[in-house]
Amino acid sequence: MSKRKTATPKIQMRDDLGRSARAVALHMLMRIEEGGAYANVLLRESDDMARLQASDRALVTELVYGTVAWKKRLAYALQAYTERDIATFDGWFRLLLLMAFYQLLFLSRIPPYAVVSETVALAKRFGHDGHAKTANAVLRAYTRDPSRAAPPKTGERVRDLALRLSYPEWLVERWVAQYGEQAAERLMETANAAPRLFVRLNGLKPDAEDVVRRTLAERGATMTPVEGLKRAYVVHGPASVLRDLIEGGWLTVQDVSAQLVAHALRPLPGQRIFDACAAPGGKATHIAELVGDEGEIVAADVHAHKIRRLEREKARLGLRALVVIQEDATAIRRLPRAHFDRVLVDAPCSGLGTLGRKPEIKWRLRPPDLASLAAKQRAILRGVAPYVAPGGLLVYSTCTLNREENEEAVYVFLRETTNFIPDPSLIDDLPDWPNIRAVGPGMVEVWPGETGGDGFFIARLKCIESIPGR
């Protein structure tokens, strides 16, 4: 019997988006799964979200993050209630059922009958009667016997952890080897939690706090300051309420852990500062704000389209001291050597510290990717080192928790050059948070969870003599 063909549901979903939170969520899940989009960007920038009520926007956020983060666990549960291999389901239909199982397994406030009813209706709307009948049969089978959805305990610790907490086995194995089983389990649990929304107020606008707080109150949202970090706030409300405040240059959406990096650089007004991998601009613009837009701040990136984004960020925030250039950090050509008081390498990385905001990363990464990234990071460090002036500081940061990209990259760099030494005073320039811990001389890890921010690694090195020219 030939497989029944149906019209691609994407066009239909776009027509129906404004009427259903679950349809909006499903469309986003398809863009993440099939188009390589990132959950946090879709949720922040989607016009469809703006057409929903506040409660529906919250539901969409919950469904998108939860379904992607728990995909492995949800797929196991779904497979337990059908004899057909779920890999053979239409892509949109499999995502719809995974989203339904997320609600059934993790959202106790939604009655199971409501999940079944809404899911069957969507299956019929975007597919045909066969989809609706399958959805109804699978979900009602779960409501009759929920126990079959529970992950088994095989005694193989890595495999059991990977299924129970929904991670690829290779990543569980790596984190257990690097951090120990208990710490790895805590890290995975934390990374599955929904992220908090952090912003950085523009320090060049003295009335920014009053304007932002008043605007949020008008929209039913609030904000509270982050302890120990100037101009950092957590927003209690959907990201969509910030759109015009962002456009007006009043604030920047930036994770609280990422905001630590500019402070680690210890920037001072009038200094010469180089951000070698600056796009999309969050840290470069933060540096400019911290120094009162005084000095020479060079923000570089290798890609032309990212340079255009940096220029837009500069204009949005009203910065003048920021100079944007296109430059390859591994082979710098146009900058004077031994010129900069501060150099930042916020390196391209695996992003394993950002799984709360970008849960799709754990399904896209492969082990060879980490080795390739580590090699690139070391090349960037070698490339920028000659541009640090004697007595200047070099800060290396990543938004990942993976020692190959973090401590090991720094140790390799220090073995390759005698011109830099670790700066153990780094810890003194950071807030006294329980999730910040030293992992070596001049090196710290920031673990997610305690503050609601991402996982980060920061190292600070001091240049003791210039590197001879080649």
* Residue linked to tokens 């899940």: 29
Confidence tier at 2 by pLDDT (50, 70, 90): very low
pLDDT at 151 over 70: yes
Smallest CA-to-CA distance from 165 within 244, 53, 72 is with 72
What is the per-residue pLDDT for 13?
45
Strand partners, 440: 443
The per-residue pLDDT for range 163-215, each reduced to its tens digit, is 999 999 999 999 999 999 999 999 999 999 888 999 999 999 999 999 999 99
Q: How many CB atoms lie within 10 A of CB 180?
A: 11
pLDDT more than 90, % of the chain = 86
The per-residue pLDDT for range 366-375, each reduced to its tens digit, is 999 999 999 9
What is the per-residue pLDDT for 62?
94
By CB atoms closer than 10 A (0-12, 13-18, 19+), residue 454 is: buried
Q: Is the backbone of residue 297 left (phi > 0), alpha (psi -120 to 50) or beta?
A: beta
Distance CA 330, CA 277 (A): 10
What is the per-residue pLDDT for 19?
67
The per-residue pLDDT for range 98-122, each reduced to its tens digit, is 999 999 999 999 999 999 999 999 9
Strand partners, 275: 299, 344
User: What sign has the CA pseudo-torsion 49, 55, 58, 60?
Assistant: negative
What is the per-residue pLDDT for 3?
39
Q: What is the DSSP string of 51-72?
A: TS-HHHHHHHHHHHHHHHHTHH
pLDDT at 17 over 70: no
Residues 288-296 have a mean pLDDT of 96
Q: How many CB atoms lie within 10 A of CB 253?
A: 16
Catalytic residues: 399
What is the per-residue pLDDT for 53?
85
What is the per-residue pLDDT for 54?
82
Confidence tier at 361 by pLDDT (50, 70, 90): very high
Token pair belonging to 377: 């990071």
Residues 243-268 have a mean pLDDT of 97
What is the per-residue pLDDT for 442?
97
Listed in sequence order, the residues at least 6 apart from 357 whose beta carbon sits closer than 8 Å to its beta carbon are 39, 40, 195, 255, 454
Q: CA 424: distance to chain centroid?
A: 28
Confidence tier at 52 by pLDDT (50, 70, 90): confident
Token pair belonging to 393: 């500081």
Distance CA 254, CA 113 (A): 39
pLDDT at 4 over 70: no
Confidence tier at 90 by pLDDT (50, 70, 90): very high
Strand partners, 395: 344, 460
pLDDT at 1 over 50: no
Token pair belonging to 253: 């959406």
| Least confident stretch, 73-77, 322-326, 450-454, 462-466 | 450-454
H helix or E strand, kind and range, residue 342: strand 340-346
Listed in sequence order, the residues at least 6 apart from 140 whose beta carbon sits closer than 8 Å to its beta carbon are 116
What is the per-residue pLDDT for 431?
95
Distance CA 15, CA 343 (A): 49
H helix or E strand, kind and range, residue 381: helix 367-384
pLDDT at 326 over 70: yes
Within the chain, what is the greatest distance between any pair of CA atoms? 75
Cα distances from 165 to residues 75, 375, 464, in angstroms, run 12, 30, 46
Domains and CATH numbers, the chain: 9-149 (1.10.940.10), 157-191 (no CATH), 197-253 (3.30.70.1170), 256-463 (3.40.50.150)
By CB atoms closer than 10 A (0-12, 13-18, 19+), residue 355 is: buried
Bigger pLDDT: 46 vs 359: 359
Calculate the average pLDDT of the chain: 93
Residues 433-440 have a mean pLDDT of 94
Confidence tier at 238 by pLDDT (50, 70, 90): confident
Residues 158-165 have a mean pLDDT of 97
